[in-house]
Structure 1
């Protein structure tokens, strides 16, 4: 019997060696966090700057003019985690939420839900900070980062599609997915005035996309089908060479017909004398083609 620690290590290693969307998304988030961690060590040692320049470059800003200077941030922010526990809980939720999601959906749907959930989260964050007066004084400096909106989108999509799915939670026993989803949404909604307002608003944007996507699927409409590669249809015109041929004169046509008839008569004479089996394959094929004219 192998030690428990080795077994867990092997399971983690085998999971990340899988070539699927869930393991790749988690791996990307972890690797980016590690890169940022190493950068922070070197910037501290050389006393040149701090890790905040990474945040300024890749976190999505609430200010629209700043967003136009770095439009890529609307994508990059959803892979950027600030602290270890931020990363840990997001990846934990992504793993378990992703496992449930993949029981009903494909790897491609998981990837697209992650991305669109993140985009909806960023959209909610930006719109809220530019609409509500309470955020006016902090708009210029506010940024959002983290995978939470994307992760919650996956979790809410699974809960909307299969609301009666039961999870066995520690100390709580069996709990239906719909109650877990409702609790997450309510907590984020009530937490907006308590701090990290932008983060909670982004979470709600991601949750909304997850709900909308699963709701559309229950109505037999998959919006992701617009990303499906359509087969290329090749149109081959018939007898294209004929368009470039000069029309035949009556003399040419009659001469060709006479030659063909002469060849047919020759083959028919051979059949009359020696039977059909005496014909070569070429003669049989020629006779067959002429009979189709």
Structure 2
């Protein structure tokens, strides 16, 4: 049974993550890219107003966002291995990447919850950065230009999300009313062709970096199916950081206070009450983390809810 089918027997439609809702990783990733774009655009306009040449903007500002291929430069600006994947300077560049990120990220988030998308995006960006650097050092035609070569944009990261989504649900179809629908792999193929066409006139290192991002997305899903979730440490780090500013982190959760009733039962043995609110809580957890993070008890509650038609 596939990830998308594991809880499809439950009759009540699960709540979708909506624009502006807390915990929507897709909106968070889109917002971060847009913030970086607007920041760079604003600075670029200021330079234009003061009639500064484009080269001045690149050397004084953009070099602190884009990732250089030369390791000596990268060692002086190590943060660019992260900032480059969220930075764009051309409107068509960011528009294309964000549309594809939305198309594939929406499906990925619907099926796995919102704790996988950003880790996959970052893994793809890191893999693309590594491949880009290696390509410039290992391919003889690129070595003479390594001093001027740099990487900018979320293409490798978006490629990781696209490939991860396709690997997870290769049978997913769009527009099902049109002769059974269009398989997701067709959309992925179109995306790859468009992406490669956009860098055809550039260095081969750019195409290879995008392939590196795609490989990262594939490996993430491959290892997740083997029981090795590459997003766990990243989410735990995020939770640890956020809890530093949360004074109520050790308080008993509402689930412990409301949904368990131990009266008349063996001490320390918890039995879950079957309520609509409890079921909604579990469905929200699926939205947040994915079905495979449910406990056996929570899976049994969903099963009971389907049988009792709550």
- Per the normalisation by structure 2, the TM-score is 0.63
Counterpart selection for 2:154 from 137, 147, 158: 147
Whether the aligned pair in 2 keeps the contact of 1:32 and 1:80 (CA below 8 Å) is yes
Post-superposition shift, 1:195?
2.3
Counterpart selection for 2:40 from 12, 36, 42: 36
Whether the aligned pair in 2 keeps the contact of 1:191 and 1:197 (CA below 8 Å) is no
Query: Which residue is 1:45 aligned to?
Result: 49
Residues 1:94 and 1:190: Cα distance change in structure 2 (over 3 Å)? closer
Query: Which residue is 1:126 aligned to?
Result: 133
Residues 1:182 and 1:217: Cα distance change in structure 2 (over 3 Å)? farther
SS of residue in 1 equivalent to 2:111: coil
Residues 1:147 and 1:227: Cα distance change in structure 2 (over 3 Å)? closer
Q: CA offsets, 1:44-89, max 9 Å, x none?
A: 2223454313221110111111111100000000010120010101
Query: Which residue is 2:170 aligned to?
Result: 163
Whether the aligned pair in 1 keeps the contact of 2:160 and 2:213 (CA below 8 Å) is yes
Task: Give the unaligned 5+ runs of structure 2.
Answer: 1-17, 241-310
Supply the distance in 1 between the matched residues of 2:49 and 2:197 (Cα, whole angstroms): 41
Query: Which residue is 1:245 aligned to?
Result: none
Query: Which residue is 1:273 aligned to?
Result: none
Count of aligned positions? 218
Supply the distance in 2 between the matched residues of 1:58 and 1:172 (Cα, whole angstroms): 46
Supply the distance in 2 between the matched residues of 1:102 and 1:166 (Cα, whole angstroms): 16
1:117 and 2:124 equivalent? yes
Task: Give the unaligned 5+ runs of structure 1.
Answer: 1-13, 233-293
Query: Which structure's relative contact order is higher, taking Cα pairs within 8 Å and 6+ residues apart?
Result: 2
Post-superposition shift, 1:183?
4.8
Supply the distance in 2 between the matched residues of 1:42 and 1:178 (Cα, whole angstroms): 43
Whether the aligned pair in 1 keeps the contact of 2:23 and 2:114 (CA below 8 Å) is no
Supply the distance in 2 between the matched residues of 1:204 and 1:37 (Cα, whole angstroms): 28
Give runs of aligned pairs for residues 173-212 of structure 1, distance below 5 A: 174-185=181-192, 194-212=201-219
Query: Which residue is 2:307 aligned to?
Result: none
Q: Normalized per residue, which structure has more helix? A: 1
Post-superposition shift, 1:121?
0.7
Larger Rg: 1
Query: Which residue is 2:28 aligned to?
Result: 24
Residues 1:31 and 1:167: Cα distance change in structure 2 (over 3 Å)? same
Supply the distance in 2 between the matched residues of 1:172 and 1:79 (Cα, whole angstroms): 38
Over the residues paired in the alignment, what is the CA RMSD in angstroms?
2.8
1:73 and 2:77 equivalent? no
1:82 and 2:86 equivalent? no
Supply the distance in 2 between the matched residues of 1:191 and 1:46 (Cα, whole angstroms): 32
Residues 1:96 and 1:185: Cα distance change in structure 2 (over 3 Å)? closer
Give runs of aligned pairs for residues 220-259 of structure 1, distance below 5 A: 220-227=227-234, 229=236
Query: Which residue is 1:288 aligned to?
Result: none
Q: CA offsets, 1:68-116, max 9 Å, x none?
A: 1100000000010120010101111111111110122121211111111
